[in-house]
Structure 1
Amino acid sequence: MTDKAPEIRRLNDAFRSSFIGGHVVLTSGVVALADTERRALLRSVRAFEAFDSDNDPYAEHDFGAIDMEGAKFFWKIDYYGADMQSGSPDAANPHVTRRAMTIMRAEEY
């Protein structure tokens, strides 16, 4: 865990729970779900709290796995610079970081 992990975690939790403050990308497998299933999955992502040392080794809350009706889904937050072309120079600084969360079926990973 870095000294910036608490701030990165706070920013990631705020983004994940609201989908505000970044870009949310749904893969084709998620888009293909029925509307009710897709809405349930998005609610599960926003409510996700099952962080542990296996899925969150750096305590940044940037990844999660969800089982829903026999299917496994992943979500992952990545950090980009303001141009969205390169990595962020400081994921703890929202002025230089753009967050992007991808929500996918596990088999699309």
Structure 2
Amino acid sequence: MEERIARIRALNDQLRSFRLGGFVTITQGIQGLGKTALQEILMRVAKFDSFEEGNDPYGEHDFGALEYGGQRIFWKIDYYDKSLEGGSPNPADPDVTSRVITIMLASEY
């Protein structure tokens, strides 16, 4: 079980930090902050390392929150099947999983 969680965490960190191995979704609220804000938020998400029991109870590095310009920002990674129509049968296996990170204003959640 620990190996499976470590694999999921590594794949999630790859997507979050380098935008590799999945899809990135930016909500309208984040886009509305402008290009400079978007670049800064993407950098902060990539560098995020404040994982703790409260925001990462399963150790998968699949959620985080940060502040930017007085706004609370959430990011969340979800695991879908390759057709993006349902959940992944095995989030530890990139051959059957499409990862999607969504970056949003907390108010959009």
Aligned to 1:69: 69
Q: How far does residue 96 in structure 1 lie from its aligned partner after superposition?
A: 0.4
Aligned pairs for 1:13-92 within 5 A: 13-92=13-92
Counting aligned pairs with the same residue, the percent is 46
Tell me which amino acid in the other structure corresponds to 1:74: F
Q: How far does residue 58 in structure 1 lie from its aligned partner after superposition?
A: 0.2
Under a length normalisation based on structure 1, what TM-score does the superposition of the two structures give? 0.96
Q: Which runs of 5+ in 1 are unaligned?
A: none
Pairwise CA RMSD of aligned residues? 0.8
Distance (Å, rounded) in 2 between the aligned partners of 1:70 and 1:32 = 14
Distance (Å, rounded) in 2 between the aligned partners of 1:30 and 1:56 = 23
How many residues of Structure 1 are paired with residues of Structure 2 in the alignment? 108
Q: How far does residue 52 in structure 1 lie from its aligned partner after superposition?
A: 0.3
Q: Which runs of 5+ in 2 are unaligned?
A: none
Tell me the SS of whatever aligns to 1:6: helix
Tell me the SS of whatever aligns to 2:6: helix
Q: How far does residue 33 in structure 1 lie from its aligned partner after superposition?
A: 1.0
Instruction: Give 4+ residue runs of structure 1 displaced > 4 Å after superposition.
Output: none
Under a length normalisation based on structure 2, what TM-score does the superposition of the two structures give? 0.96
